[in-house]
Amino acid sequence: MPENSSSFTRRSLLGAFAAGAAVKAQTPHREWKPRLGVLGPYSEANLAFVREAGFNNMILGASPHSALDAATLTDAQVDKIKGAIQRSGVHISAFQVTQNHIAPDSGERARHSAYFVKAIELAGKLGVPYVGPNLATSPVGFETLFKAFGNSPFVGLQYDPSHLVWQMMDPIQTARDFADKIFDVHLKDTEIRWPILRRGGIVPVDGAEWWRFRLPGLGSIDWPAFFTVLQDVGYTGAMSVEHEDALYDPPDGEGDFSEGCKTGFRMAYRYLKQYVPV
């Protein structure tokens, strides 16, 4: 190859690199900015705590006999709740509604379905985008669910990686496989207590607890890998701490968060903010 051709090639390569760098510098960088929140019962005190602690989202319990009982709230009460939520500045990403849609008794199923319709109507009145029942808990179940609904764009996952861990499934790969169906996220960890598991197996004769739910960062989940999956697909929805860690007084039923419970949420916030821009 002639000398001038060789030098031209080097100049071309250098120029291409420079042009690429310039284009990259001109491309606006979009910061990953999902909402970070907590799951709990509705109260004005809980809304205030959420903002004080640095969160900006809540998933609210809306099952029968809760503060958001869709079957008993009057229009005046709904308007008051809506005003309190708006004043708080807290976004509500979903209702958590515990219903048994596959109860063996047809009458019981009908009652659950009737309440669920009311919960959907309440969500509409309060501007809540998602209602979260528990219908499937594994990749096989997810596939069956979506097939049954004809792959409807209105049916997705409130994804909780912690439940896959104690079932000995891969929460990261499952999130990757169903990333386009993740509408809302629970942030909860699972600790596998290996000394107990190795001694008694998954069905120990003494009923020993070989796994337990923990606050994010205190269990087995690879959170950087999980958040990378969500970043890769551009997920900008909500991710809310579901506090079921018995060591830090998790929410129990209705009412305001206890001081121990608040400590747990604050611990979760300190851990999560190293990965999630808030």
Angle at 59 between CA 57 and CA 61, to 5 degrees: 150
Contacts of 58 (CB under 8 A, 6+ apart): 37, 38, 39, 40, 46, 47, 50, 90, 91, 92, 93, 240
Whole-structure pTM value? 0.86
Selection from 30-34, 108-112, 188-192, 232-236 with the highest mean pLDDT: 188-192
When the pLDDT of each residue in the chain is averaged and rounded to a whole number, the result is 90
pLDDT tens per residue, range 78-101: 999 999 999 999 999 999 998 888
From the list 46, 47, 56, the residue with the least C-alpha distance to 236 is 56
Domains by residue range for the chain, with CATH: 33-272 (3.20.20.150)
pLDDT tens per residue, range 248-265: 999 988 999 999 999 999
Q: Is the pLDDT of residue 7 over 60?
A: no
Question: What are the DSSP calls for 123-144, one per residue?
Answer: HHHHT--EEE-----SHHHHHH
